[in-house]
Amino acid sequence: MSDTVQLSSSAIRRQMLAEFWFYFRQNRGAVAGLVIFVLLVLTAILAPVLAPHDPTTQYRDAFLLPPVWQEGGRAEFLLGTDAVGRDMLSRLIFGAQYSLFIGIVVVAIALVGGVIIGLIAGFFGGWVDSVIMRVMDVILAFPSLLLALVLVAVLGPGLTNAMIAIAIVYQPHFARLTRAAVMGEMRREYVTAARVAGAGNLRLMFKTILPNCLGPLIVQATLSFSSAVLDSAALGFLGMGAQPPAPEWGTMLAEAREFILRAWWVVTLPGLAILVSVLAINMMGDGLRDALDPKLKRS
Amino acid sequence: MVRFLLSKLLYLVPTFLGITIVAFSFVRILPGDPVLLMAGERGVSPERHAELSAQLGFDKPIVMQYFDFLGRLLQGDLGNSLVTKRPVLDEFLALFPATLELGLCAILIATLIGVPVGVLAAIKRGSWFDQVSMTSALVGFSMPIFWWGLLLIIFFSGFLGWTPVSGRISLMYYFPEGTGFMLIDSLMSGQDGAFASAVSHLILPSIVLATIPLAVIARQTRSAMLEVMGEDYVRTARAKGMPSRRVIGVHALRNAMIPVVTTIGLQIGVLIAGAILTETIFSWPGIGKWMIDSISRRDYPVVQSGLLLIAGLVMLVNLLVDLTYGLINPRIRAS
């Protein structure tokens, strides 16, 4: 008996996955985004193997060398070097580690925090809900980058604090989404049934209701991932994020600013890396939304 | 409508109080002695410390300090900058027109391009125009605008030499500040070339700041149009034999505009975040650059009050958006 139950539940899961993939695949951009994203992850994991040089080693005989295809470029520095003679390609490759790490940490903190807060607000309702939602409104009243900047000013500049600040700023979006989804699910009969069967509050919240609210949360997580990459790069650019000599793309751009009219590659390449990563994640997000949003599925 | 307005206003009170608590706590959770941080002095004698503490009200219980803070705020006293010694509110009001001018130009560009592109993309769904414009919108939406600004400077200022790199107007021109809007002031001054100079300074920062709102508005307009065009009343209008132009212009567009207006209004937060970056890149003397400079100069009274003023502003604009929403969509008012 238990065998058949297990078999059918895994079969259902497989069918759901197949259905998801069917809708996701229809968005060609999303598939392209997924491919780029996987390449990005591989680049980050294999960075020590892929990078031809150490990202912080300064070659004293090679300041601001142009890429290899330009006059004066050298074959050992494919994409040229920066103002203190560090290999651009290696720094860009190691930068992928930073961006992905930032995205994962920010989304994880914001998601966990927001889901718990949203679950509590939606599940208990009443004054608990009012208080929590007013606090979320306050956080949302501040422009995200400004609040993150000020938080970093309080905590001190640096990558860890930048990530915490961005996560705090993003967390209300998850809380609101979760709350709305929970409030919708609470009225359903299966929740009442579980309650009557004797399920406790925690079980109802996390095992009964939460799995049914995941769709919009996954889409929001993807969007937050790309925004986190953008915002942390912006903080790095403003000198408040990762600190030099870290090969973080935004920080690299900040260091390159004074050379914009002399050495295009030190400015163009880190920004291009940010753009391509963010774009890939956003394209994936579009596909996820199409595949997970039942309203769009019908049309 | 009055009831709607009042309920919205009442709703804002707790949020506003929350914002003041955030701004109030900001100085108190900074590492270091808040008295010295707010006075901008260090290494002072205990007597001087007590004097400063009393002068700034730090010797009172924390709840009293908060109510003092709130009381001063309601009287328009937001403290003085440590660096310039001028009242923060004066500085804010002096710099705000620069940001407002930049922001208005950006939102104008974003709306004037974004809405027609979105409408056209929806009408010609699946065409090459739809695909190209929506791909561009996604690229714009993903754009690190600080980098985009640098690219535009490299191309238009460095390579073509068309536009200046920074500031609001060429140093050649001088005229007393009238409205604070450089475009209007330069035009009124009657000096030859002043207006052209102001425009050439404004154009790149506006494009940079407009990029993300433009992408968002185009995408939102397209999806709102697509949704509305599937509605029964649009089909009915078509079935009656109404010309396509009229169906789209009158029936579809008007209803599609409701979410779009909200989207445009909600871009204010995006604009201020963008202004911080845009103003830094183009050395534009507005409140974004002012905040960044104040944070790096540790001018905490400015950061505290600036935060408050900006959040208050965002709140106010959101209220206006809500009210507009109620105005164009009577169903919202009733609920």
Which of chain A's residues have a Cβ under 8 Å away from the Cβ of B277?
Answer: 145, 234, 237-238
Sign of CA dihedral B30, B35, B39, B44: negative
Q: Is the pLDDT of residue B298 over 60?
A: yes
pLDDT at residue A91, rounded to an integer? 92
Query: How many other CB atoms are there within 10 angstroms of residue B44's CB atom?
Result: 15
Residue of B12, B25, B150, B307 to mutate, interface with A, max A Cβ within 10 Å: B150
pLDDT at residue A298, rounded to an integer? 42
Nearest to A138 among B19, B29, B143 (CB): B19
Nearest to A150 among B26, B143, B144 (CB): B26
Token pair for residue B321?
């958006």
Token pair for residue B30?
């900074």
Q: Is the pLDDT of residue A1 over 70?
A: no
pLDDT at residue A297, rounded to an integer? 47
pLDDT digits (tens, 9 = 90+) for A189-221: 888 888 888 888 888 888 888 888 888 888 889
pTM: 0.87
pLDDT digits (tens, 9 = 90+) for A117-157: 999 998 888 899 999 998 998 888 888 888 888 888 888 88
DSSP B264-306: HHHHHHHHHHHHHHHHHHTT--SHHHHHHHHHHTT-HHHHHHH
Mean pLDDT, rounded, for B233-253: 82
> To the nearest whole angstrom, how far is the Cα of A19 from the nearest Cα of chain B?
23
CA B246 distance to own-chain centroid: 35
- The Cα A229–Cα B88 span in angstroms is 33
A111 to A11, A107, A116, A262, B89: CA distances (angstroms) = 29, 6, 8, 43, 37
Range 105-134 of A in CB contact (< 8 A) with B: 134
Q: Kindly state whether A296 is in contact with chain B, defined as any CB-CB distance less than 8 angstroms.
A: no
Nearest 5°: phi and psi at A37?
Answer: -65, -45
Q: Is A157 left (phi over 0), alpha (psi -120 to 50) or beta?
A: beta
Nearest to A264 among B21, B141, B154 (CB): B154
pLDDT at residue B132, rounded to an integer? 94
- The Cα B246–Cα B229 span in angstroms is 13
Nearest to B269 among A143, A154, A275 (CB): A143
Whole-number CA gyration radius for chain B: 24
- The Cα B230–Cα B228 span in angstroms is 5
Token pair for residue A28?
């060609």
Q: Kindly state whether A141 is in contact with chain B, defined as any CB-CB distance less than 8 angstroms.
A: yes
Mean pLDDT, rounded, for B62-66: 85
Percentage of the residues of chain B whose pLDDT score is greater than 90: 28
- The Cα A151–Cα B29 span in angstroms is 10
Give the mean pLDDT of chain B: 85
Least confident of A43-47, A89-93, A120-124, B329-333: B329-333
Contact A290, A23 (CB under 8 A): yes
Least confident of A74-83, A211-220, B49-58: B49-58
Q: Do A146 and B307 touch (CB under 8 A)?
A: yes
B19 to A85, B92, B159, B304: CA distances (angstroms) = 47, 18, 45, 11
Mean pLDDT, rounded, for A36-65: 88
Mean pLDDT, rounded, for B128-154: 93
Q: Do B147 and A299 touch (CB under 8 A)?
A: no
In terms of DSSP H, where are the helices of chain A? 2-26, 28-45, 47-50, 88-124, 126-141, 144-155, 159-186, 189-196, 201-203, 214-237, 249-256, 264-292, 294-298
Nearest 5°: phi and psi at A165?
Answer: -60, -45
Contact A84, A133 (CB under 8 A): no
pLDDT at residue A11, rounded to an integer? 83
Q: Is the pLDDT of residue A82 over 70?
A: yes
Contact B170, B164 (CB under 8 A): yes
